[in-house]
Amino acid sequence: MSENNQNPNAVDAADEERDLIAKETVGLSQGQLIRKRFLNHKPAVFSLFFLIFVTLFVYSASGIHLNWGATPITVQGWWPYTITDIPETVFCDTSVGCPTWQHPFGQDPLGRDYFALVMRGAEQSIVVMLIIGFFGGFIGTVVGAISGYFRGWVDAVLMRFTDFIITIPAIIIGAVIGFRVGNLGVVPLAIYLGLFSWTGLSRLVRGEFLSLREREFVDAARVAGASNRRIIFKHILPNAMGVIIVSVTLMLSGAILLETGLSYIGFGVQAPDVSLGSLISDYQDSFTVSPWLFYWPGVLIILIALSVNFIGDGLRDAFDPRQRRQISRKELLKATFKKPADPTQN
């Protein structure tokens, strides 16, 4: 069908949809546009509130426990049991430690309250996720920014070093790090893992800087006498924050899965401390007789990882100006009926 034979109703509907989108964004700043696009992404908003709720619930129930050297930091939460308490064991028909009102997640074969263990494991896994995201995001941004802005031999050296790190499987790096520092506590383990989690982000930031450094506003800053540091941090970096924030968010999801995998194979958080991965590893043989020992940490890992992924999808759509919100039929009809009549048609 040629353009001259297009359905006029379809053309009018497309025009009305564009007008409605334009009216929604007129007079809004860049930050307001990003916030509006993110809030329109319902799964991302729900995932954000869910992740905040889970984090607050875990830390309020379990407390704060940072085992770092000889001076551990401990703040007890509202749950009456700890991971070392062994209350009276509840027996049932098929196994021991069945879930009850007193122990909603049941008890492990030693009699420890499993709710306390799962909350402590989630607490440690969240700490690892946040620390890896912070160090990986910071190092990846710095390396990518320097490489993309200065180019030349600086770019060649940094990217060849990045390629070298990429060729080593993450699980092998994590296993070596976990074997060496896993017994020092969750914070040193997360810091060392974060030092090797920046490679993917650095390549993305490098690509953004290679593109942005050729823009007119950067040339204007050079002509005005701005230093390289000011151009990088004041002019280019704010325009690359969309890619950085989205990449760091998705890095968090990979971080919690990496920690889970390392703890599962015995190279992550070491006993007597626990993590969600170590709980799955310790009680995988109890799946047939006490399946709740396997379900709770597994479900929590999946929910946290999915929530972070949905948040990353929402941030990606919010920072991408090419993304357009889908206008519902109800909104389109409402805007059509509100449209004033054309006086020339009378």
To 5 degrees, how large is the angle CA 205–CA 206–CA 211? 100
How many whole angstroms separate alpha carbon 233 and alpha carbon 80?
48
Q: For 202, what's the count of Cα atoms within 13 Å in the CB-facing half-sphere?
A: 24
CB 193 within 8 A of CB 170: no
Report how far Cα 93 is from the mean position of its chain's Cα atoms. 42
Query: All domains of the chain, ordered by start, with CATH?
Result: 53-320 (1.10.3720.10)
Work out the average pLDDT over 316-344. 57
pLDDT over threshold 60, residue 334: no
pLDDT at 2: 47
Q: Among 121-130, 308-317, 334-343, whose mean pLDDT is lowest?
A: 334-343
How many whole angstroms separate alpha carbon 38 and alpha carbon 315?
6
Chain length of the chain:
346
How many whole angstroms separate alpha carbon 117 and alpha carbon 128?
17
Work out the average pLDDT over 37-63. 91
Average pLDDT, the chain: 80
pLDDT at 147: 93
pLDDT in tens, 73-120: 777 888 888 888 887 777 776 667 788 888 888 888 888 889 999 999
pLDDT over threshold 60, residue 264: yes
Main-chain dihedrals φ then ψ at residue 304, nearest 5 degrees: -65, -45
pLDDT at 238: 84
pLDDT over threshold 60, residue 16: no
Most confident region among 89-98, 156-165, 331-340 by mean pLDDT? 156-165
Helices (H) and strands (E) in the chain, counts: 14, 2
Amino acid at 303: L
pLDDT at 3: 47
pLDDT over threshold 50, residue 11: no
Work out the average pLDDT over 38-54. 92
pLDDT at 102: 85
pLDDT at 159: 93
